[in-house]
Structure 1
Amino acid sequence: MGIDWITVATAAAAALVLVAPLLAVMVRQHRRHARAARTDPLTGLGNRTLLAQAAERVLGGLAGPGSPADPHGDGTRGPAVLLLDLDGFKDVNDTLGHHAGDELLTQVARRLEAVAGADAVVTRLGGDEFAVLLTAPVTTSQAVLHAKRLLAALGAGGFTARDIDLDIAGSIGVAVAPGAGRTVGDLLRRADQAMYEAKRSRAGVCAATAALVPETADGLTTLALLRGAMEHGQLSLVYQPVVEAGTGQLVGFEALLRWQHPTRGVLLPAEFLPLAERTSLIRPLTRWVLLTAVRQAADWRRAGLDTSIAVNVSASVLEPGLLGIVEEALALNSWPAEQLVLEVTESALAADAQEAREVILALSARGLPVSIDDFGAGYTSLGQLRGLPVRQLKIDRQFVTCMLEAPDDAAITASIIDLGHRLGLRVVAEGVESPGTTDRLRDLGCDHLQGFSISRPVSAAAALEAWRSARPTPLP
């Protein structure tokens, strides 16, 4: 018996009638999900995924000078990434609430779209950070001009949140392919470095240059890995006690950062912080250290060890936003301001004396003790110290460690102790590595000691075990 093709065709047609609407629904859902995966839900702009896809298309022709993306054949023109970070956005959130912050971000997104142009892809990467991809080949000068137009548009006013007029400013880092990179990841890293330099120098816009590039490929790799280190649990803090010179009584602990590098083992701050300080990565890194250190101190207090905690602050974050990070750490842990010591390097004061003074004044007004770290190794003038509301000086370890063998180091150490006391400050010697050095510093009237002769940096658990019975002496 043969196949009744008419019957088969009729059944197939009927099935198609039933299935077609379902397929159409599935296609629409797929398209919606695909759009959602590439869209920032708050502003409606593209997100990091869309930026990567768009950049992949325009960067694909970067085979070298003369390529389609470099029609002039000199390797100096190509697509560009402009990385924008709003200035003072956290103040809007803190003062008016997150809903107002969301209103502002949406308005900024619309303004950027209106000004960026047809050959630009505007995206929001997260928080108050936006990226604009210029898809048509441009020179660095043209890209910088484009960035300045964006900032001018933001500065033109017209932004409101909760019926309050807001003034908006920002900083933009510019990275132009192929000179600044041939992948979106490279361009974002270089733009991030440039953006931080623009923020630090208050220039508004800064382009990636050779001076802003880590000197080796290993430096770039280190930065890339460091970005994920906080999320992957590779960062940790160890704690070194500070004691009274005369009695050995515990004064507090200094929190010291360590990185368990995936291939190089444990890295000390000197091996990666200088790289982080050249990018905006130093800000979330500082926040992580502050939150972790204060949380640990609060845990100690609940376990019976009530002591102050000191945290190093880079010159790169000695800006008004630092107070907001500090306030967050204090509030989350109900920690008293007077028990969080912020150690600022002497060179930080020389980098931008006026801004440093303003920030230190604000921190001091909040009740936070400020310490000048590595004193004697930088460029602080006595005029800068005059009237600066700091509580203590820390003598740079290079003078302390060899003071028994080097008369010049001993003389410098003695002079710093005398200077500190004449200014009404406590003086801390770090790098104390022998009983003889301890005795000599005690004879010179040094107030506090820190170093291997007292204790090496230890884990939080070991610190609690070793010092819980000690009675800390409060800082003045």
Structure 2
Amino acid sequence: MNGIALWLTVAFAVCSALAAAALVVLLVARDRERHRMARRDPLTQLGNRTMLAEEAERVLGGIADMDGDGSHGPALLLVDLDGFKDVNDTLGHAAGDEVLVEVAQQLVAAAGPDALVTRLGGDEFAVLIAGPVSAGGAVVRAKRILGGLTLREFRARGVSLDVRASIGVTVAPSDGRTLSDLLQHADVAMYQAKRARSGVTRYDAANDEHSPDRLETLSHLREAMLEDQLHVRYQPVIAAGSHGLTGFEALLRWHHPERGLLLPAEFIPIAERTSLIHALTRWVLLTAVRDASRWRQAGLEASIAVNISPVSLEHGLLGIVEEVLALHRWPASQLVLEVTESAVTENPEQARAVVGALRARGIQVAVDDFGAGFTSLSQLRGLPVHQLKIDRQFITALDRSPDDDAVVTAIIDLGHRLGLTIVAEGVESLAAAERLHELRCDDLQGFWFAKPMVADEVLSWASEHAANARATAPAPAVGHA
């Protein structure tokens, strides 16, 4: 009897434990489902504001570590359907819900694998692109999304509907470092697109009547130049074949006393509206060439590249450059001036004249962020430049995207046919570096080799890199791309 009682006690304890475990599993499953539903829009099953906030915190958290000038980063697109109220009023809210579900599916299909599509409410959607993507690239993505909506036939209650939208485009950090700022600015751009009936509009602080006073930022920038708040960091450019060091790109940073580390895209556009941009250009050139001269005296041979604002690409630029070269006795052939595609397309005749004068002096000129804008082949053919720097948006996913691989292959082939050196920016993996070497890309730049560093770190980094370069260099590429 005692044995039976013991057996029953044990059996009861086991059943109780199993029941408790099952209850825990059920509660955990319910909690997970509750958490999932709290981040989902119940109608479209897209993410909601909560999911957008969580993902934005993740992708925006790495802005300070970016290796560029801040012109590339995560992008936020705000999509608002045009005239959607008419669908609800005419066909009823149930029909409107059917359209919203179809629109959600189309947005996901058109946005791309690196994008999170969320529904904010009503007929308003947000697309967060992890990037990094340039402003031009973000606008192209937005136009692709808009084109997908325009071309697709939407139906509700047996009625064919023409769905159109307006999209506001923002790119971090130039348009904001927080989700709140990006949403606010994307909203401004979206309503500008609605008023202009343009479909897609990029945010421009100059057209934002709610933007803070730009004069205050300009005043602080002038003080920054005098109070040692501006700094230059240097990122190495590496030969794709030997992994030997070929040069450094100078990247401007502003250590703002209140806002922290600011990238050029956050303050250069403001300076470009005044003559302050010319003083900034001269300061960066002087600083970069001075530092490079010190490295040379210590035995490090490397070119130095400096970004030039489109506004500074004028005839007075050559005088500034001549002053800098003479002051530090720097060879003209070891100075690379990087200009963007927009500088070429906005005033092609002036760009051709200025670049021609720089080349006659022996200075190298590179077209930066190539592929992000709309430079025509005829303009490129007539421009006496030395290098093309492939926009980083095509490089970061090179080993995962056949489309990006095709674009990069075409750019390298085009550049070589024109006698240009090709540099790939944004190289962040060994796979990307190896693929670019296979495609006969000349030089590489990105986190895979080094993050931007202060001037005092360059010599020690270069010494260590030279010791490791032979071991890490890839095998010689076979054939020609």
Residue of structure 2 aligned with 1:439, choices 416, 434, 442: 434
Measured in 2, the distance between the counterparts of 1:213 and 1:318 equals 27
Q: 1:243 touches 1:251 (CA, 8 Å); kept in 2?
A: yes
1:240 equivalent in alignment to 2:235: yes
Counterpart position of 2:286? 291
- The one-letter code of the counterpart of 2:348 is A
Measured in 2, the distance between the counterparts of 1:214 and 1:343 equals 33
Q: 1:214 touches 1:275 (CA, 8 Å); kept in 2?
A: no
Q: 2:366 touches 2:386 (CA, 8 Å); kept in 1?
A: yes
- The one-letter code of the counterpart of 1:257 is L
TM-score by length of 1: 0.53
Counterpart position of 1:250? 245
Change (3 A) 1:248 1:344: same
- The one-letter code of the counterpart of 2:371 is G
1:338 equivalent in alignment to 2:339: no
Residue of structure 1 aligned with 2:313, choices 318, 341, 366: 318
1:268 equivalent in alignment to 2:256: no
Q: 1:257 touches 1:268 (CA, 8 Å); kept in 2?
A: yes
Residue of structure 1 aligned with 2:395, choices 379, 400, 404: 400
Measured in 1, the distance between the counterparts of 2:380 and 2:279 equals 29
1:247 Cα deviation from its structure 2 partner: 1.0
1:375 equivalent in alignment to 2:354: no
Query: What secondary structure sits across from 1:217 in the alignment?
Result: coil
1:390 equivalent in alignment to 2:380: no
1:363 Cα deviation from its structure 2 partner: 0.2
Counterpart position of 1:280? 275
Query: What secondary structure sits across from 1:228 in the alignment?
Result: helix
Counterpart position of 1:351? 346
Query: What secondary structure sits across from 1:251 in the alignment?
Result: strand
Query: What secondary structure sits across from 1:359 in the alignment?
Result: helix
1:405 Cα deviation from its structure 2 partner: 2.0
Greater relative contact order (Cα 8 A, min sep 6): structure 1 or 2? 2
Q: 2:359 touches 2:385 (CA, 8 Å); kept in 1?
A: yes
Counterpart position of 1:5? none
Q: 1:237 touches 1:293 (CA, 8 Å); kept in 2?
A: yes
Q: 1:214 touches 1:220 (CA, 8 Å); kept in 2?
A: no
Measured in 2, the distance between the counterparts of 1:255 and 1:468 equals 19
Q: 1:252 touches 1:310 (CA, 8 Å); kept in 2?
A: yes
Query: What secondary structure sits across from 2:255 in the alignment?
Result: strand
- The one-letter code of the counterpart of 2:433 is T
1:378 Cα deviation from its structure 2 partner: 1.3
Change (3 A) 1:265 1:214: farther
Q: 2:352 touches 2:382 (CA, 8 Å); kept in 1?
A: no
Q: Deviations over 1:78-133 (max 9, x none)?
A: xxxxxxxxxxxxxxxxxxxxxxxxxxxxxxxxxxxxxxxxxxxxxxxxxxxxxxxx
Residue of structure 2 aligned with 1:225, choices 220, 224, 229: 220
- The one-letter code of the counterpart of 1:383 is S
1:211 Cα deviation from its structure 2 partner: 5.0
Structure 2 runs not aligned, ≥5 long: 1-204, 470-481
Q: Aligned Cα RMSD in Å?
A: 1.8
1:227 Cα deviation from its structure 2 partner: 1.4
Q: Deviations over 1:179-206 (max 9, x none)?
A: xxxxxxxxxxxxxxxxxxxxxxxxxxxx
Counterpart position of 1:467? 462
Change (3 A) 1:229 1:215: farther
Change (3 A) 1:215 1:336: farther
The aligned length equals 263
- The one-letter code of the counterpart of 1:297 is A
Q: Deviations over 1:133-186 (max 9, x none)?
A: xxxxxxxxxxxxxxxxxxxxxxxxxxxxxxxxxxxxxxxxxxxxxxxxxxxxxx
Measured in 1, the distance between the counterparts of 2:414 and 2:359 equals 21
Change (3 A) 1:290 1:214: farther
1:326 Cα deviation from its structure 2 partner: 0.3
Measured in 2, the distance between the counterparts of 1:468 and 1:339 equals 20
**More deviation in 248-257 or 459-468?**
459-468
The 5-angstrom pairing of residues 2-401 of structure 1 reads 216-217=211-212, 219-401=214-396
